Amino acid sequence: MIDWRHWHNEPYLTGGLILAGWLYAVLAGPLRSRLAPGQPYPRGKAALFYSALVLFYLAVGSPLDQISERFLLSAHMVQHLLIMYPVALLILLGLPSWMADPVLSGPGTRPALRLLLHPLSCALVSTVVISFWHAPFLYEWTLQDKVVHVVEHLLFLAASLLYWWPLASPSTVFPAPSYGARMIYVFGTEISMIPVSAYIVFSGDILYPTYEYAPRLIAGFTPADDQLTAGIIMKISGMLVSLTALGVCFFKWSRASSRGPASAP
C-alpha cells in the first residue's frame, strides 16, 4: 500500500529547489550591495521565500505525492492547492522589489510583460491553465507519465504566480493595481473557476480511471465519494482564499483611505 518512508529525492526536484534557494541567497547576500545599496538583508522575506520552497517539497516530494498519484483524487487536489495558493503566494511575498525589478525592467521585455502581467491576462491564463489540466485525458496522462506530471506541476506554479501577481506584486515596475481593482479581480477569478469545480462535483461519471480502479485506502470511501470530495475541496478552498483576499484588500483600502490619498497605492 503506502510507503510512508518514500520521499522523492530526484535530482531535478531537490536540485531545482537547492538552485532556487542558492540564487536567492546570492542575490540577497553578496549581490545585494550592487542591486540595492544600503538595504539590509531581507530576513522576513527570505523566511517567506524559503518557506515556499519547503512547502513545495512537502507537496510534491512527501508521501502525499504517492497517495495523490495512486490512490486518491482528493489528496491530489490538496497537493495542487498547496502549489496554487500558499507556495505561489509565499514566493511573491518573499521577493524584495529590488530583486524582482531588474528582471522585469528590460526595455525589450516591457511590452510583453505589461500584457502578461495585466490583471485580465493573469485571470485568463491562470483559469485556462488550471482548467485545461483537469480535462480527463490530460489529467490521466499526468498520472501515467512522470515527466508530464512534473510539467503539469510547474505550469500550475507558473499560472498561480500570475494569479497572485495583481494581489501581491513585488515589483515597482509592474505594481499591483488599486485595492478596488484587486477586489474586482478576486471576484472575477473566483467566478471563472466555477465551471471546473462544478464539472468535478456534478459529473455523473468517474472522470479519471486511475482513481476508479485504485485500491481503497478508506473502507466505504468510493471513487464517487473521492471525486465529490475533491471537487468540494477545490471549491471551498478557492472561496476561502478569495474571501480572505477580499477582506485583506478591503481592510488595507479602508486604512489607506483614512490616512488620506497620499497613502493609497
| Segment 201-223, tens digit of pLDDT | 999 899 999 999 999 888 889 99
Q: In sequence order, what DSSP letters do the residues of 196-254 get, joined into one string?
A: HHHHHHH-SS-S-HHHHSSPPSSTT--HHHHHHHHHHHHHHHHHHHHHHHHHHHHHHHH
pLDDT, tens digit, 9 for 90 and up, residues 11-43: 889 999 999 999 999 999 999 999 999 999 999
Q: Residue 4 pLDDT more than 80? A: no
pTM: predicted TM-score of the whole model, two decimal places? 0.93
From the list 86, 94, 91, the residue with the least C-alpha distance to 28 is 94
Region of 228 (left: φ > 0; alpha: ψ -120 to 50; beta: rest) is: alpha
Residue 203 burial by CB count (10 A; 0-12/13-18/19+): exposed, middle or buried?
A: middle
Residue 76 is predicted with a pLDDT of 96
Mean pLDDT (whole number) for 71-88: 97
Q: Residue 96 pLDDT more than 70? A: yes
Domains of the chain, residue spans = 11-104+111-263
